[in-house]
Amino acid sequence: MGWLATVRKGIQRADFYICSVGMVLLIPMMLITAGDIIGRAVWSRPIPGAVELSSYMLAVFILLGVAYTHQVKGHVRVTMLVSRLPERAGLLLDAMTTILSLFMISILAWQGWVVGIEERTVSDMLRVPQLPFRLLVSVAGVLLCLELLIDLADSLRKLVRR
């Protein structure tokens, strides 16, 4: 096993554990939302800040899971056109779309950092600072870029082999 395979395995393992942290937030989010609905319906007393907390937990869940979702090919992918192309053309198109995705996600990660580092606002009700959540966009972008680089290396290796 070469150093590239070791790096790949490390990145994929890190993405899995980071995604797992995000998945753990689903249970408290579910409990807070259910408690808020029951409190509102039964006693006409919702949980203060429940909507804020749920939205922050949802953002963390999504951002921490995006790289792992890409790793396991869980994103929507339309292959109607690519499946009809010759294999080499499909690999070339795959490499080009990966490069384009890498470019766009790199900009997202960079701007997530630029905007996040300047963030000084807090939420309305609970006064939660928004800085860590804004910086999480950058972290998610970097993790997704690493996964895209793995895909690009795979596509290029298959293209060269053909």
Domain boundaries, the chain: 3-161
Confidence label for 1 from pLDDT (cuts 50, 70 and 90): low
The model carries a pTM of: 0.88
| Residues 70 and 148 sit within 8 Å (Cβ to Cβ) | yes
User: pLDDT for 100-133, tens place per residue?
Assistant: 999 999 999 999 999 999 989 998 888 999 999 9
User: pLDDT for 136-147, tens place per residue?
Assistant: 999 999 999 999
